[in-house]
Structure 1
């Protein structure tokens, strides 16, 4: 009996201690239980979000794989949309003057073709006429470079230079088969390029002719609620792409004017060609300007010497500073709303995945994705009953509400 009482007394002591602790701090047990529950909720949320992120990344990977497989079909559509944004103001002007849709679209399509043919016709004769002289200048430049390497501080001997040239010659001979195969594939590439150009032109005509009918058809097909969102989103994307093409054309034109003027003043060979290439390369932000500028400096070095090349480099750097710090922020701030780092990464990623066409389409694609994300954020804020800071003074109505 005594032993059992002692055991009961000993076992009761921890319970009494716990009761005293609970009386002294009644929220301790609740706090401990709530902390564990909160940690469990955090872990559950983290696991759920992680699974969602994995699914989204997997979906994007699948989309990228499918896009890579059907890129030859997607590229003409994307190019046609961009060219349609350029020609659409002219079509809208002609339609307001009473011209039928098909005739207005055909007129602007033919106008675009004539402009492109005129640019090519202006470039080719200049290249053919000055290629011989530029080749002699390049040979003289190689001779000067050889003499420079033979002098101090390099003091490279004739034997070393001869061995280097022989090595390069042997590699070229060993690669003769690959070069011939590349020439054959180049012919097929040129043929496929002509086919793609023809396809793009046909698509541009249909986009200009039937483009205004697309959003009403989409609204009728998908229903009023979903159609309202899709129509609003696609209209914003179209506005962004149109603004990108217009502002980039202005920036490229200003770059071409100043750099072309410097080329003509210095008497650099192929000045007209380099001016046109500077304008075209300007449609690939950041990277295109660097490539075109490097080419202009190289031609100036070969054709006119290092003084002209140094002057040309200075002009290009000044123009690029004006473009990057004044023109781009001013003209594209409200249109693109993309940071320069995002633009650079988009161009590099698009170029590495899809080549020159990918670099050209990277920034419009990034801008379209940004429009989609901003639209989703707006709808999310409205569903949550929030008012964005930039819209705090503007009374807004959710899309689709009150619309017929």
Structure 2
């Protein structure tokens, strides 16, 4: 009896596609294409909501901590808001004015700095002619980049502040964040209600793990960025590479883009150091490497531990992919996107399967060793 039923099942699975099946799959493909086009058309709005939900996940543990101390959620949100306003006011009073002054000084001195860099490279090329021959168009590159360097740097800073202001300072985003934080229960309830019964528990675990991951990520970025900014600023000031405060601030911003962000953030300081001579450049390079090694080997394991468990290769992939699709905002959202994909795969696919991890590890080692 069982054997006949299994044979009928196999025959049913092997039946050829008919017109109804083709219509079903064609309709599904069309719906996916339409959904992708609609998402692309609404990418600015979707990115805004993604940033707001990310901030809500980062801030919610602080509000939950106050709630556990018998403080009403609305009052906890108000206290958190007042704390951020106080910090922003202090920064506006003591940090922003000298920072803007150093930005203007750096922009004004960029042509002179570029001229000194050119002189250093030319002198270096005279001592090592084979390097000069390997780059025959150096003068043309210097002339072109030098002519545009001031405008490029000015555009970079103006664009950065406009993007930051548009994403994090708009009234709509702030109101949306308040609405999400003050009463997130209806949103979570509807999300779980939409899930099929068989997958509701997996969806709950996914959302819970993602919230925990994002809270850890937000804490890690702020703490790592603050320590890296202070260390970079102090070391650059000791070396004599100015404006050190600005370079520290750039190092802080670089922490929001994983792996490649700190490297890119070190370029302005190294550029100015190169204009001051090979000794200053060498010291600045050692300082940058020291800060990055401390962050990689001390700060990240101590602050984040194994809470994220994201492979650097996957982080790099998501950073490049998200930045190619959505620009700077996509680069900032690359770690949350990588964490979401990882959690969804684990909860909805890997958790349902049973496999021998030791055997798979052995097979992986055989592939690596070519056995």
- Alignment correspondent of 2:222: 249
Distance in 2 of aligned mates of 1:240 and 1:195 = 21
Alpha-carbon distance, 1:237 to partner: 1.5
Alpha-carbon distance, 1:335 to partner: 1.9
Contact kept? 1:91, 1:105, Cα under 8 Å: yes
Task: Give the SS at the match of 1:283.
Answer: coil
Closer, same or farther in 2 for the Cα pair 1:190/1:368, shift >3 Å?
closer
1:235-260 superposed Cα distances (whole Å, 9 cap, x missing partner):
12211221222233333333223222
Distance in 1 of aligned mates of 2:29 and 2:304 = 30
Closer, same or farther in 2 for the Cα pair 1:71/1:165, shift >3 Å?
same
Contact kept? 2:230, 2:248, Cα under 8 Å: yes
1:263 has 2:231 as partner: no
- Within 5 Å, give how 1:87-236 maps onto structure 2: 87-116=59-88, 118-119=90-91, 122-131=94-103, 133-134=105-106, 137-145=109-117, 147=119, 152=126, 193=166, 197-219=170-192, 225-236=198-209
Closer, same or farther in 2 for the Cα pair 1:93/1:325, shift >3 Å?
closer
1:273 has 2:239 as partner: no
Alpha-carbon distance, 1:342 to partner: 0.8
- Alignment correspondent of 2:328: 356
- Alignment correspondent of 1:324: 296
Distance in 2 of aligned mates of 1:55 and 1:339 = 37
Task: Give the SS at the match of 1:103.
Answer: helix
Distance in 2 of aligned mates of 1:255 and 1:191 = 20
Task: Give the SS at the match of 2:55.
Answer: helix
Distance in 2 of aligned mates of 1:136 and 1:168 = 13
Distance in 2 of aligned mates of 1:278 and 1:308 = 19
* Runs of at least 5 residues in structure 2 that lack an aligned partner in the other structure: 1-12, 17-25, 359-371
Q: Name the TM-score, length of structure 1 as normaliser.
A: 0.64
Alpha-carbon distance, 1:112 to partner: 3.0
1:76 has 2:10 as partner: no
1:211-247 superposed Cα distances (whole Å, 9 cap, x missing partner):
2454345445657655433222211221122122223
1:248-307 superposed Cα distances (whole Å, 9 cap, x missing partner):
3333333223222212322432322221221222121111111111122223344x5442
Alpha-carbon distance, 1:359 to partner: 0.3
1:74-103 superposed Cα distances (whole Å, 9 cap, x missing partner):
122211122223322332233233333222
Q: Name the TM-score, length of structure 2 as normaliser.
A: 0.69
Distance in 1 of aligned mates of 2:108 and 2:165 = 34
Contact kept? 1:109, 1:205, Cα under 8 Å: no
- Of 63-72 and 221-230, deviating more is 221-230
Contact kept? 2:202, 2:348, Cα under 8 Å: no
Closer, same or farther in 2 for the Cα pair 1:164/1:235, shift >3 Å?
closer
Give 2:256's match in structure 1, choosing from 283, 286, 298: 283
Alpha-carbon distance, 1:165 to partner: 5.3
1:96-151 superposed Cα distances (whole Å, 9 cap, x missing partner):
33333222223323433443454455554224433565456544434435555776
Alpha-carbon distance, 1:380 to partner: 2.2
Alpha-carbon distance, 1:195 to partner: 8.7
Alpha-carbon distance, 1:348 to partner: 0.9
Distance in 1 of aligned mates of 2:27 and 2:230 = 49
Alpha-carbon distance, 1:347 to partner: 0.6
Task: Give the SS at the match of 1:231.
Answer: helix
- Alignment correspondent of 1:376: 348
Closer, same or farther in 2 for the Cα pair 1:148/1:213, shift >3 Å?
closer
Alpha-carbon distance, 1:319 to partner: 2.4
Closer, same or farther in 2 for the Cα pair 1:63/1:372, shift >3 Å?
farther
